[in-house]
């Protein structure tokens, strides 16, 4: 088995599983452990995962880096000649929530992987992050005493992974972990590669929306609907016209333009819990919507909103943003500011955002957009910064965008 790889991704996980099925328990090492049967609803079995993660996080950096680029792998649901897997009834986030009291708040990130082996069963992989120079010991934060000694942990105890077993640390090993904490890590030079886009350029929005709002007012007044409170409503609508036109333009851009995607790659270096802040200068951004979300009353605010169903071509709703979502964005006079907070950036593996968060529009006629960025990471009190440029997409006309959205709303192709 090739242990120079990062043990993440379907191909890597399948190769490791084949190795375990061939050798069984003989495949176990200081960086690899196998559990053939495990009940993830039982605390005694959950403790086996906690001990493995604690033990491998407390390995010497030099020892860990010799295999899987420092990562550790626990395989659940496999043995020699068989891979029965574990039930999908327990989700990885549920496991992580139950592990948290034992691992503590400052424990490094770890990941889960799956290889399906049946309609409702997967072989589950728990992948620990590489230990780093500058990290102190990671003690257990909660006691549990199972019927078997190996299924027990003690609050404050430090566990280490030695060969194919996880056990309490000896005095010399504790001293080595203290020395690891005091050592200064010579970090490899940060080298980030970015891909981002598209940045759209749109002209003629003010013209088309001015025409649309003029028509709305003309139809309202020609219908003789300007007496009494209706006249007051028209006066209010006129006072709010500029604001409503801006809202309508954002709605049209959100449904008519493709969303913005960012890809970032850390070349040759693992980054734990980075925070990457990017500013796209000379741009603005709007919420990305689906074309089916196009709504005439959102684009052209009527003088009087009539009760009844809203005319849209589909369900006009917005997705809820889950907790700890790794993308945040704002748009202000300086440009579009995006904050990315992935769990980690693995060496030479692109981390890519979804393209359904927001759309970016250039505010001027430049051929490209300047981007500046700063990055901080867990375990470092310094920040890095840099910049790059991305090209602007070909010019689009506001009238064409509105016509396409309207045609879609009315059932056209």
Contact 122, 85 (CB under 8 A): yes
What is the C-alpha to C-alpha distance for residues 384 and 376, in angstroms, rounded to an integer?
7
Q: Residue 163 CB: number of other CB atoms within 10 A?
A: 9
- Identify the three-state secondary structure at position 335: strand
**176 and 209 inside one domain:** no
The tens digit of pLDDT for each residue in 64-80 reads: 999 999 999 999 999 99
> CA-CA distance, 336 to 259, in Å (whole number)?
14
Parallel/antiparallel/unpaired status of strands 271-272 and 344-345: antiparallel
Please give the full DSSP string across 30-89, using - where no structure is assigned: SSEEEESS--TTSHHHHHHHHHHHHHHHTS-HHHHTTSGGG-EEEEES-BTTB---EETT
| In a shared domain, residues 260 and 340 | yes
pLDDT tens readout for residues 265-323 = 999 889 999 999 999 999 999 999 999 999 999 999 988 766 555 444 444 444 555 66
Cβ-in-10-Å burial (0-12, 13-18, 19+) of 117 comes to middle
CATH number of domain containing 62: 3.30.950
Distance (Å, whole) CA 75 – CA 219: 69
* Number of independent structural domains in the chain: 2
Tokens found for residue 281: 């200068």
CB 390 within 8 A of CB 366: no
Crossing angle of the two packed helices 205-222 and 229-239, in degrees rounded to 10: 170
Q: How far apart are CA 334 and CA 313, in angstroms?
A: 35
* Per-residue pLDDT at 28: 94
262 shares its domain with 401: yes
- Given 152, 182, 212, the domain boundary residue is 182
Domain stops at, among 133, 153, 182: 182
pLDDT at 378: 87
| 176 touches 61 (CB < 8 A) | no
Residues 103 and 15 in one domain: yes
Q: What is the pLDDT of residue 318?
A: 46
Tokens of 79: 């043995």
- What pLDDT, on a 0 to 100 scale, did the predictor assign at position 186? 60
**Which residues are within 8 A (CB) of 258 and not within 5 positions of it... i.e. 6 or more apart?**
198, 200, 355, 359
> For position 148, what pLDDT does the model report?
79
Instruction: Share the mean pLDDT of the chain.
Output: 90
Q: Which two tokens stand for residue 167?
A: 């056990």
> Does the predicted model carry a pTM greater than 0.85?
no
3-state helix, strand and coil shares in percent for the chain, rounded to the nearest 5: 30, 30, 40
pLDDT of the residue at 228: 67
Q: How far is CA 103 from CA 75, 106, 137, 143, 182, in A?
A: 19, 8, 12, 11, 21
Are 157 and 88 members of one domain?
Answer: yes
What's the pLDDT tens digit per position in 174-213?
A: 999 999 998 865 667 789 999 999 999 999 999 999 999 9
For residues 403 and 245, give the distance between their C-alpha atoms in angstroms, rounded to a whole number: 17
CA distances from 236 to 218, 231, 340 (A): 16, 9, 41
Range of the domain at 102: 10-182
Looking at the fold, whether 218 and 132 belong to one and the same domain comes out as no
Same domain for 164 and 67, yes or no, is yes
Domain boundary among 182, 204, 220: 182
Question: Any residues with CB less than 8 A from the CB of 347 and at least 6 apart, and which?
Answer: 6, 69, 266, 267, 268, 269, 270
3 in a domain, yes or no? no
Tell me the C-alpha distance between 133 and 184, whole Å.
Answer: 7
Q: β-pairing, 327-332 with 199-203?
A: unpaired
Compute CA 148 distance to the chain's CA centroid, rounded to the nearest angstrom: 39
C-alpha–C-alpha distance, residues 58 and 173, integer Å = 9
Local structure of residue 189 (DSSP, 8 states): P
Give me the pLDDT at residue 381, please.
Answer: 81
* DSSP strands (E only) in 119-155: 121-128
pLDDT at 225: 57
- What stretches in the chain show pLDDT beneath 50? 310-318
Asked whether residue 187 is domain-assigned, the answer is no
């Amino acid at each position: 088995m090739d242990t120079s790889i990062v043990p993440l991704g379907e191909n890597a996980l399948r190769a490791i599983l084949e190795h375990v099925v061939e050798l069984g328990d003989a495949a176990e090492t200081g960086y690899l452990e196998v559990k053939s049967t495990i009940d993830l609803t039982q605390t005694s079995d959950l403790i086996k995962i906690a001990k493995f993660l604690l033990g491998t996080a407390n390995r010497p950096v030099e020892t860990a880096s010799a295999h899987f680029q420092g990562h550790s792998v626990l395989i659940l649901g496999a043995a020699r000649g068989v891979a029965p897997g574990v039930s999908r009834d327990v989700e990885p986030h549920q496991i992580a929530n139950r592990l948290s009291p034992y691992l503590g708040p400052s424990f490094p990130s770890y990941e889960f992987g799956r290889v399906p082996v049946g309609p409702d069963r997967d072989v589950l992989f728990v992948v620990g992050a590489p230990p780093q120079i500058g990290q102190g010991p990671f003690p257990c934060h909660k006691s549990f005493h199972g019927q078997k000694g190996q299924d027990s942990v003690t609050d404050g105890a430090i566990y280490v992974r030695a060969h194919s077993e996880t056990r309490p640390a000896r005095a010399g090993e504790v001293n080595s972990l203290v020395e690891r904490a005091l050592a200064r890590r010579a970090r490899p030079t940060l080298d980030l590669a970015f891909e981002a886009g598209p940045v759209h350029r749109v002209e003629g929005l003010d013209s088309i929306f001015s025409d649309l709002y003029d028509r709305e007012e003309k139809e309202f007044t020609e219908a003789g609907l300007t007496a009494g409170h209706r006249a007051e409503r028209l006066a209010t609508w006129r006072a709010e016209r500029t604001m409503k036109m801006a809202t309508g333009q954002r709605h049209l851009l959100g449904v008519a333009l493709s969303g913005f995607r960012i890809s970032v790659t850390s070349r040759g270096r693992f980054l734990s819990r980075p925070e990457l802040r990017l500013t796209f200068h000379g741009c603005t951004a709007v919420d990305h919507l689906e074309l089916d979300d196009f709504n005439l009353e959102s684009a052209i605010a009527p003088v009087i909103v009539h009760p009844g169903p809203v005319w849209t071509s589909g369900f006009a709703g917005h997705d809820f943003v889950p907790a700890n979502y790794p993308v945040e964005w704002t748009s202000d006079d300086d440009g579009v500011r995006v904050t990315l907070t992935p769990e980690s950036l693995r060496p030479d593996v692109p981390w890519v955002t979804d393209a359904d968060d927001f759309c970016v529009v250039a505010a001027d006629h430049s051929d490209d957009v300047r981007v500046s960025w700063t990055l901080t990471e867990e375990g470092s009190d310094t920040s890095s910064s840099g910049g790059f440029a991305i090209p602007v997409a070909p010019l689009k006309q506001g009238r064409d965008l509105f016509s396409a959205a309207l045609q879609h709303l009315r059932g056209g192709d």
